[in-house]
Structure 1
Amino acid sequence: MNRRTTALTAAVALAASLALTGCSSDGDKPELKVSGAFMPQPVMDMAGGFLTITNGSGAADKLTSVTSPISDDVTIHETKDQKMVEVKSFDIPANGELKLERGGNHIMFMELKTKPKQGDKVSIELHFEKSDPIKVDVPVEAANHNPQQH
Protein backbone atom coordinates (compact mmCIF):
# COMPACT_ATOMS: atom_id res chain seq x y z
CA MET A 1 0.00 0.00 0.00
CA ASN A 2 2.81 2.40 0.87
CA ARG A 3 4.55 1.89 -2.49
CA ARG A 4 1.33 2.47 -4.39
CA THR A 5 0.62 5.71 -2.49
CA THR A 6 4.16 6.96 -3.13
CA ALA A 7 3.88 6.18 -6.86
CA LEU A 8 0.48 7.84 -7.08
CA THR A 9 1.75 10.92 -5.19
CA ALA A 10 4.76 11.15 -7.51
CA ALA A 11 2.54 10.83 -10.60
CA VAL A 12 0.17 13.54 -9.35
CA ALA A 13 3.11 15.83 -8.48
CA LEU A 14 4.65 15.29 -11.93
CA ALA A 15 1.34 15.96 -13.70
CA ALA A 16 0.80 19.12 -11.62
CA SER A 17 4.30 20.43 -12.31
CA LEU A 18 3.88 19.79 -16.06
CA ALA A 19 0.54 21.59 -16.03
CA LEU A 20 1.98 24.54 -14.11
CA THR A 21 4.99 24.71 -16.44
CA GLY A 22 2.70 24.77 -19.45
CA CYS A 23 0.55 27.52 -17.98
CA SER A 24 3.44 29.69 -16.84
CA SER A 25 5.36 29.48 -20.11
CA ASP A 26 2.36 30.93 -21.97
CA GLY A 27 2.13 33.76 -19.44
CA ASP A 28 5.87 34.45 -19.69
CA LYS A 29 5.84 34.98 -23.46
CA PRO A 30 6.08 38.65 -24.46
CA GLU A 31 3.28 40.02 -26.67
CA LEU A 32 5.02 42.44 -29.02
CA LYS A 33 3.42 44.80 -31.54
CA VAL A 34 5.20 47.21 -33.88
CA SER A 35 3.77 50.61 -34.83
CA GLY A 36 4.83 53.93 -36.33
CA ALA A 37 7.66 52.47 -38.43
CA PHE A 38 9.37 54.73 -40.97
CA MET A 39 12.67 55.34 -42.74
CA PRO A 40 13.53 58.84 -43.92
CA GLN A 41 14.53 58.78 -47.61
CA PRO A 42 18.31 58.29 -47.52
CA VAL A 43 20.52 61.01 -48.99
CA MET A 44 23.73 58.96 -48.73
CA ASP A 45 24.47 55.21 -48.69
CA MET A 46 23.13 54.87 -45.14
CA ALA A 47 19.75 55.35 -43.52
CA GLY A 48 18.03 55.41 -40.15
CA GLY A 49 14.98 53.46 -39.10
CA PHE A 50 12.45 54.35 -36.45
CA LEU A 51 9.52 52.52 -34.84
CA THR A 52 7.83 51.67 -31.56
CA ILE A 53 7.62 48.16 -30.08
CA THR A 54 4.83 47.78 -27.53
CA ASN A 55 4.87 44.87 -25.08
CA GLY A 56 1.38 43.97 -23.87
CA SER A 57 2.48 41.26 -21.45
CA GLY A 58 4.06 40.90 -18.03
CA ALA A 59 7.23 39.40 -19.56
CA ALA A 60 10.11 41.65 -20.63
CA ASP A 61 12.11 41.00 -23.82
CA LYS A 62 15.05 42.47 -25.71
CA LEU A 63 15.49 43.61 -29.30
CA THR A 64 18.77 41.90 -30.20
CA SER A 65 19.18 42.63 -33.92
CA VAL A 66 17.58 43.78 -37.15
CA THR A 67 18.10 42.28 -40.60
CA SER A 68 17.08 43.58 -44.04
CA PRO A 69 17.73 42.73 -47.67
CA ILE A 70 18.60 46.40 -48.24
CA SER A 71 21.87 46.14 -46.24
CA ASP A 72 24.20 43.47 -44.89
CA ASP A 73 25.21 45.88 -42.11
CA VAL A 74 22.18 46.76 -39.97
CA THR A 75 22.89 47.77 -36.37
CA ILE A 76 21.03 49.27 -33.42
CA HIS A 77 22.27 52.47 -31.81
CA GLU A 78 21.56 54.61 -28.81
CA THR A 79 22.26 58.33 -28.75
CA LYS A 80 24.11 59.62 -25.70
CA ASP A 81 25.46 63.15 -25.42
CA GLN A 82 24.60 63.67 -29.10
CA LYS A 83 26.81 60.72 -30.13
CA MET A 84 25.63 57.45 -31.68
CA VAL A 85 26.85 54.31 -29.92
CA GLU A 86 26.17 50.81 -31.26
CA VAL A 87 24.54 48.52 -28.68
CA LYS A 88 23.98 44.75 -28.51
CA SER A 89 20.32 45.01 -27.48
CA PHE A 90 17.50 47.25 -26.28
CA ASP A 91 15.25 46.31 -23.37
CA ILE A 92 11.53 46.05 -24.02
CA PRO A 93 9.98 46.32 -20.56
CA ALA A 94 7.02 44.22 -19.44
CA ASN A 95 3.79 46.15 -20.13
CA GLY A 96 5.91 48.92 -21.67
CA GLU A 97 7.43 50.03 -24.92
CA LEU A 98 10.68 50.64 -26.75
CA LYS A 99 10.69 53.82 -28.85
CA LEU A 100 13.23 54.13 -31.64
CA GLU A 101 13.02 57.77 -32.71
CA ARG A 102 14.97 60.63 -34.27
CA GLY A 103 17.52 62.03 -31.85
CA GLY A 104 17.35 58.90 -29.71
CA ASN A 105 17.66 55.14 -30.04
CA HIS A 106 17.40 53.98 -33.66
CA ILE A 107 18.24 51.41 -36.35
CA MET A 108 21.15 52.14 -38.73
CA PHE A 109 21.35 50.70 -42.25
CA MET A 110 24.92 51.04 -43.57
CA GLU A 111 26.20 50.56 -47.14
CA LEU A 112 22.74 50.41 -48.72
CA LYS A 113 22.48 48.07 -51.71
CA THR A 114 19.78 50.35 -53.20
CA LYS A 115 18.50 53.77 -52.20
CA PRO A 116 14.76 53.60 -51.53
CA LYS A 117 12.66 56.61 -52.48
CA GLN A 118 9.77 58.24 -50.65
CA GLY A 119 6.70 56.02 -51.09
CA ASP A 120 8.73 52.76 -51.21
CA LYS A 121 8.64 50.15 -48.46
CA VAL A 122 11.73 48.51 -46.96
CA SER A 123 11.41 45.01 -45.55
CA ILE A 124 13.04 44.41 -42.16
CA GLU A 125 12.99 41.61 -39.61
CA LEU A 126 13.27 42.34 -35.90
CA HIS A 127 14.97 39.67 -33.76
CA PHE A 128 14.36 39.26 -30.03
CA GLU A 129 15.81 37.37 -27.07
CA LYS A 130 12.53 35.52 -26.32
CA SER A 131 9.96 36.31 -29.01
CA ASP A 132 9.78 35.03 -32.56
CA PRO A 133 11.09 37.43 -35.22
CA ILE A 134 8.67 40.06 -36.52
CA LYS A 135 8.70 41.15 -40.16
CA VAL A 136 7.82 44.77 -40.88
CA ASP A 137 7.41 46.65 -44.17
CA VAL A 138 8.79 50.07 -43.31
CA PRO A 139 7.44 53.01 -45.36
CA VAL A 140 10.04 55.42 -46.74
CA GLU A 141 9.09 59.00 -45.91
CA ALA A 142 10.53 62.41 -46.85
CA ALA A 143 14.12 62.92 -45.71
CA ASN A 144 12.97 65.50 -43.11
CA HIS A 145 9.98 63.44 -41.84
CA ASN A 146 9.66 63.58 -38.07
CA PRO A 147 6.31 62.56 -36.53
CA GLN A 148 7.31 64.13 -33.20
CA GLN A 149 7.07 67.57 -34.79
CA HIS A 150 3.46 67.09 -35.97
Structure 2
Amino acid sequence: MIAPRRGEALYVAGGVAVLGLGLWMWALGRGPAASDAGARPRLRVTGAYAVRVSASTEVSAYLTARNTGGGADRLIAVRTDLSPIVMMHRGLENAMVAVDSVPLPARRTVSLTPSGLHVMIMQPRRAVRVGERVRLTLLFSRSDPISVGAPVLAPGDRPPDG
Protein backbone atom coordinates (compact mmCIF):
# COMPACT_ATOMS: atom_id res chain seq x y z
CA MET A 1 0.00 0.00 0.00
CA ILE A 2 1.30 3.45 -0.91
CA ALA A 3 1.03 6.12 1.79
CA PRO A 4 -0.08 9.60 0.67
CA ARG A 5 2.54 12.31 0.73
CA ARG A 6 2.30 14.94 3.45
CA GLY A 7 1.05 17.70 1.08
CA GLU A 8 -1.65 15.47 -0.38
CA ALA A 9 -2.92 14.54 3.09
CA LEU A 10 -3.22 18.20 4.07
CA TYR A 11 -5.03 18.95 0.80
CA VAL A 12 -7.56 16.15 1.40
CA ALA A 13 -8.04 17.15 5.05
CA GLY A 14 -8.68 20.77 4.02
CA GLY A 15 -11.24 19.66 1.43
CA VAL A 16 -13.06 17.53 3.98
CA ALA A 17 -13.12 20.48 6.43
CA VAL A 18 -14.56 22.83 3.79
CA LEU A 19 -17.17 20.25 2.79
CA GLY A 20 -18.13 19.73 6.44
CA LEU A 21 -18.42 23.49 7.02
CA GLY A 22 -20.56 23.83 3.89
CA LEU A 23 -22.91 21.05 5.01
CA TRP A 24 -23.19 22.61 8.48
CA MET A 25 -24.04 26.04 7.00
CA TRP A 26 -26.55 24.44 4.64
CA ALA A 27 -28.25 22.69 7.59
CA LEU A 28 -28.38 25.96 9.53
CA GLY A 29 -29.89 27.69 6.51
CA ARG A 30 -32.83 25.29 6.52
CA GLY A 31 -33.93 26.12 10.06
CA PRO A 32 -36.82 28.35 11.19
CA ALA A 33 -34.80 31.59 11.10
CA ALA A 34 -33.82 31.03 7.48
CA SER A 35 -37.39 30.33 6.44
CA ASP A 36 -38.44 33.71 7.89
CA ALA A 37 -35.63 35.46 6.01
CA GLY A 38 -36.75 33.84 2.76
CA ALA A 39 -40.44 34.60 3.31
CA ARG A 40 -42.02 36.66 0.57
CA PRO A 41 -44.20 39.71 0.93
CA ARG A 42 -47.73 39.52 -0.49
CA LEU A 43 -49.00 43.01 -1.26
CA ARG A 44 -52.42 44.42 -2.03
CA VAL A 45 -53.18 48.10 -2.65
CA THR A 46 -56.67 49.47 -2.03
CA GLY A 47 -58.48 52.74 -1.49
CA ALA A 48 -56.26 54.81 -3.78
CA TYR A 49 -57.42 58.35 -4.53
CA ALA A 50 -55.90 61.68 -5.58
CA VAL A 51 -56.69 65.29 -4.72
CA ARG A 52 -55.62 68.44 -6.52
CA VAL A 53 -53.89 70.54 -3.89
CA SER A 54 -55.74 73.84 -3.56
CA ALA A 55 -54.04 76.96 -4.98
CA SER A 56 -51.49 74.88 -6.93
CA THR A 57 -51.25 72.44 -9.78
CA GLU A 58 -49.75 69.71 -7.60
CA VAL A 59 -51.70 66.53 -6.96
CA SER A 60 -51.51 64.46 -3.79
CA ALA A 61 -52.29 60.74 -3.72
CA TYR A 62 -53.24 58.41 -0.89
CA LEU A 63 -53.73 54.67 -0.58
CA THR A 64 -53.58 51.66 1.73
CA ALA A 65 -50.99 48.92 1.25
CA ARG A 66 -51.53 45.56 2.97
CA ASN A 67 -48.71 43.07 3.28
CA THR A 68 -50.24 39.72 4.21
CA GLY A 69 -47.02 37.84 3.46
CA GLY A 70 -44.35 36.65 5.83
CA GLY A 71 -41.60 38.93 4.48
CA ALA A 72 -41.18 42.69 4.61
CA ASP A 73 -41.00 44.96 1.57
CA ARG A 74 -40.50 48.66 0.83
CA LEU A 75 -42.34 51.06 -1.44
CA ILE A 76 -39.39 52.67 -3.23
CA ALA A 77 -41.07 54.81 -5.92
CA VAL A 78 -44.36 55.80 -7.52
CA ARG A 79 -44.72 56.57 -11.21
CA THR A 80 -47.49 58.17 -13.23
CA ASP A 81 -47.87 59.41 -16.78
CA LEU A 82 -49.12 62.69 -15.31
CA SER A 83 -45.59 63.83 -14.35
CA PRO A 84 -42.01 62.58 -14.23
CA ILE A 85 -41.65 64.13 -10.76
CA VAL A 86 -43.37 62.00 -8.12
CA MET A 87 -42.22 62.17 -4.52
CA MET A 88 -43.14 60.47 -1.28
CA HIS A 89 -43.53 62.76 1.72
CA ARG A 90 -44.22 62.56 5.42
CA GLY A 91 -46.31 65.36 6.92
CA LEU A 92 -44.75 66.80 10.07
CA GLU A 93 -46.74 69.55 11.80
CA ASN A 94 -46.73 72.34 9.19
CA ALA A 95 -44.08 70.88 6.90
CA MET A 96 -43.51 68.04 4.47
CA VAL A 97 -40.33 65.99 4.51
CA ALA A 98 -39.35 63.83 1.52
CA VAL A 99 -38.79 60.13 2.24
CA ASP A 100 -36.79 57.71 0.09
CA SER A 101 -39.00 54.71 0.81
CA VAL A 102 -41.92 53.49 2.89
CA PRO A 103 -41.44 50.29 4.96
CA LEU A 104 -44.11 47.62 4.48
CA PRO A 105 -43.60 45.18 7.37
CA ALA A 106 -44.81 41.58 7.13
CA ARG A 107 -48.43 41.06 8.14
CA ARG A 108 -49.09 44.81 8.49
CA THR A 109 -51.12 47.54 6.82
CA VAL A 110 -49.63 50.93 5.98
CA SER A 111 -51.87 53.85 5.03
CA LEU A 112 -50.75 56.88 3.08
CA THR A 113 -52.96 59.70 4.38
CA PRO A 114 -53.25 63.49 4.12
CA SER A 115 -51.79 63.96 7.61
CA GLY A 116 -48.99 61.37 7.33
CA LEU A 117 -47.13 59.58 4.57
CA HIS A 118 -48.42 60.51 1.11
CA VAL A 119 -47.48 60.84 -2.56
CA MET A 120 -46.99 64.21 -4.28
CA ILE A 121 -47.23 64.49 -8.06
CA MET A 122 -45.28 67.62 -8.86
CA GLN A 123 -45.67 69.80 -11.96
CA PRO A 124 -48.27 67.65 -13.75
CA ARG A 125 -48.24 67.95 -17.54
CA ARG A 126 -51.92 68.87 -17.53
CA ALA A 127 -54.60 69.93 -15.08
CA VAL A 128 -56.56 67.11 -13.48
CA ARG A 129 -60.33 67.22 -13.17
CA VAL A 130 -62.50 65.87 -10.39
CA GLY A 131 -63.86 62.49 -11.41
CA GLU A 132 -61.04 61.42 -13.72
CA ARG A 133 -58.71 58.58 -12.77
CA VAL A 134 -54.96 58.95 -12.35
CA ARG A 135 -52.89 55.81 -13.01
CA LEU A 136 -50.26 55.17 -10.30
CA THR A 137 -47.62 52.47 -10.58
CA LEU A 138 -46.05 51.53 -7.26
CA LEU A 139 -42.52 50.09 -7.31
CA PHE A 140 -41.25 47.89 -4.50
CA SER A 141 -37.85 46.60 -3.44
CA ARG A 142 -38.93 42.93 -3.52
CA SER A 143 -42.36 42.65 -5.13
CA ASP A 144 -43.53 43.21 -8.69
CA PRO A 145 -44.95 46.67 -9.49
CA ILE A 146 -48.63 47.26 -8.78
CA SER A 147 -50.70 49.71 -10.86
CA VAL A 148 -53.90 51.26 -9.55
CA GLY A 149 -56.38 53.82 -10.82
CA ALA A 150 -56.91 56.65 -8.34
CA PRO A 151 -60.06 58.74 -8.76
CA VAL A 152 -59.47 62.48 -8.43
CA LEU A 153 -61.55 63.98 -5.63
CA ALA A 154 -62.25 67.58 -4.74
CA PRO A 155 -60.58 68.81 -1.54
CA GLY A 156 -62.77 67.78 1.39
CA ASP A 157 -64.56 64.94 -0.48
CA ARG A 158 -64.89 61.64 1.37
CA PRO A 159 -62.24 59.15 0.17
CA PRO A 160 -63.25 55.71 -1.10
CA ASP A 161 -63.28 52.82 1.33
CA GLY A 162 -60.23 50.65 1.31
Q: TM-score range by the shorter chain?
A: 0.7 to 0.9
Structure 2 counterpart of 1:68, from 46, 58, 80? 80
CA distances 1:112-131 after superposition (whole Å, capped 9, x unpaired):
11111111000110001100
Match of 2:102 among 74, 90, 95: 90
User: Which one of 23, 28, 49 corresponds to residue 38 of structure 1?
Assistant: 49
Q: Which amino acid aligns with 1:28?
A: A
CA distance in 1, matches of 2:81, 2:118: 18
Q: When the two structures are superposed, what TM-score results if normalisation uses the length of structure 2?
A: 0.73
**How far did 1:82 drift?**
2.9
Code of the residue aligned with 2:135 in structure 1: it is S
Q: TM-score, normalised by structure 1?
A: 0.78
What amino acid is aligned across from residue 42 of structure 2 in structure 1? E
**Aligned ranges for residues 104-143 of structure 1 at < 5 Å?**
104-143=116-155
Query: Is there any run of 5+ residues in structure 1 with no aligned partner, and where?
Result: 1-12
After TM superposition, the structure 1 stretch with the greater mean CA deviation from structure 2, 62-71 or 76-85, is 76-85
Task: Please identify runs of 4+ aligned residues in structure 1 that moved more than 3 A.
Answer: none
How many residues align structurally? 136
Structure 1: which amino acid aligns with 2:140? Answer: F
Query: How far off its partner does 1:147 sit?
Result: 3.7
| CA-based RMSD | 2.8
Q: Which runs of 5+ in 2 are unaligned?
A: 1-22
